[in-house]
């Protein structure tokens, strides 16, 4: 019987697989950025400095749709806020030290956080975080350059469906979270508002309004009590009787 891989080796393997798959996705960003009016160097600088795929796609989507730069920056910023929460969760994983934490802040993304949290011990979590984050950073930037250079050769990237890649990725991240009515209510409210406002407002602004609606619905926790009651019916019943 073959020996089971150690947690650290398993972390290396998972991190490498995620890094390779995610890096390939950067080709679509590079091509879309050029199609939206950016030049090759602007697309590359976005990947080098912003390095959060969802925010980058939001930025070029607003610019490509004729939106204002302020709306593009605000939309990208809203999507990037989630990395703050990731950073708080990853703080004990990356360890102490100002330089280490400063470097970790740039590599704290969806994938590095997910791979780190999937590991079973501290050493494996550390490996999962750093290998995934650095691997994707290097691969994403190389793929961005390739996509930007190939943009003119590919022609209109929308003909290949690459403009839908970001939406599909977000849906894949969102779907597992739609298990409770509160999460469904937040997602549905934001989606309806964005769909209604898209024909009426400049690109980027429907996303900002939808985000505000999502915050309001989530903050009020309209469905949260019912979710808790359905998850613990006996406990809810005892409270009602007391």
Neighbouring residues of 106: CB distance < 8 A, sequence distance ≥ 6: 51, 133, 137
pLDDT digit of tens for each residue in the chain (242 aa)?
Answer: 455 678 889 999 999 988 888 888 888 888 888 888 888 999 999 999 988 877 788 788 777 766 666 666 776 776 667 777 788 888 888 878 888 889 999 999 888 988 998 888 999 999 999 999 999 999 999 999 999 998 766 666 556 655 555 555 556 555 655 667 767 777 777 778 777 877 776 655 666 676 676 666 666 665 555 544 454 444 444 433 33
- Terminal CA-to-CA distance of the chain, rounded, Å? 58
User: What does the pLDDT read at residue 129?
Assistant: 94
Task: Characterize 19-35 residue by residue with b for buried, 16 or more Cβ atoms within 10 angstroms of its Cβ, and e for exposed.
Answer: beebbebbbbbbbbbbb
Domain ranges of the chain: 7-177, 179-242
Phi and psi of 214, rounded to 5°? -60, -40
* Other beta carbons within 10 Å of 60: 26
Q: Quick check: 53 and 30 in contact, CB under 8 A?
A: no
């Amino acid at each position: 019987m073959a020996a089971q891989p150690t947690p650290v080796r398993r972390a290396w393997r998972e991190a490498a697989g995620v890094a390779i798959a995610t890096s390939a996705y950067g080709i679509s960003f590079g091509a879309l950025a050029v199609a939206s009016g950016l030049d090759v160097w602007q697309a590359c600088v976005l990947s080098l400095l912003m390095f959060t795929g969802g925010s980058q796609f939001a930025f070029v989507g607003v610019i490509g749709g004729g939106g204002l730069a302020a709306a593009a920056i605000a939309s990208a910023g809203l999507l990037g806020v989630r990395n703050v929460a990731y950073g708080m969760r990853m703080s004990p994983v990356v360890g102490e030290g100002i330089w280490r934490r400063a470097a970790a802040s740039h590599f704290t993304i969806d994938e590095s956080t997910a791979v780190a949290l999937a590991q079973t011990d501290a050493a494996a979590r550390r490996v999962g975080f750093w290998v995934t984050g650095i691997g994707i950073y290097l691969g994403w930037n190389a793929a961005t350059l390739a996509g930007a250079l190939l943009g003119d050769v590919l022609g209109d990237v929308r003909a290949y469906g690459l403009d839908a890649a970001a939406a599909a990725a977000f849906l894949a991240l969102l779907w597992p979270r739609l298990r409770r009515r509160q999460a469904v209510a937040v997602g549905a409210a934001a989606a309806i508002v964005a769909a209604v406002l898209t024909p009426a407002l400049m690109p980027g602004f429907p996303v900002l309004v939808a985000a505000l609606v999502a915050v309001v619905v989530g903050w009020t926790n309209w469905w949260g009590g019912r979710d808790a009651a359905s998850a613990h019916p006996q406990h809810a019943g005892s409270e009602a009787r007391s």
